Amino acid sequence: MTRSLRLASFLVLAMLAAACSSLRYDLGEVPFPISASPLRGASDPSDRFVLQGKHVLWVHGLLGEDQPDIQGQLLANLIPCVGVADFRVTSAATFHDWLLTHLSLGLVRMKTVTVTGTRIRAPR
């Protein structure tokens, strides 16, 4: 195998490995319980919430990535609350994310991260 072919193979494998990035978040410091189970028969007042952030990969993740601070968003937007039910985190590309990704030739890859759930408020 020639040197240039080995280098090209290495670059392709590195790009494929970087393309397999996933969203990571830690909810260990959140002061209220969070559950993926739906809210059932609670008498406490509750309301639905939707929070959004951007997940950005620079050069297919080879030069790093920016992930949304899900824990920070929950703390900033949901307090005061006694818990969260029906917690979901999804990541998908909107049209604007897709357009920016393709206009930058894939050097900047964006996805919108959406956090949804039901905030349970303290009874009054």
CATH number of 88's domain? 3.30.110
3-state secondary structure of 99: helix
4/26 Cα distance (integer angstroms): 42
- Which SS3 state, helix, strand or coil, does residue 29 take? coil
What was the pLDDT predicted at 116? 92
Please state the rounded mean pLDDT for residues 107-117.
90
pLDDT above 70: percentage of residues in the chain: 84
Judged against a pLDDT cut of 90, whether residue 50 lies above it is answered with yes
Name residue 18's beta-bridge partners: none
Per-residue pLDDT tens over the stretch 14-27: 555 555 556 777 78
- Domain tally for the chain? 1
Question: Domain of 94?
Answer: 3-120
Average pLDDT, the chain: 82
pLDDT over 80 (residue 54): yes
pLDDT class for 12, splitting at 50, 70, 90? low
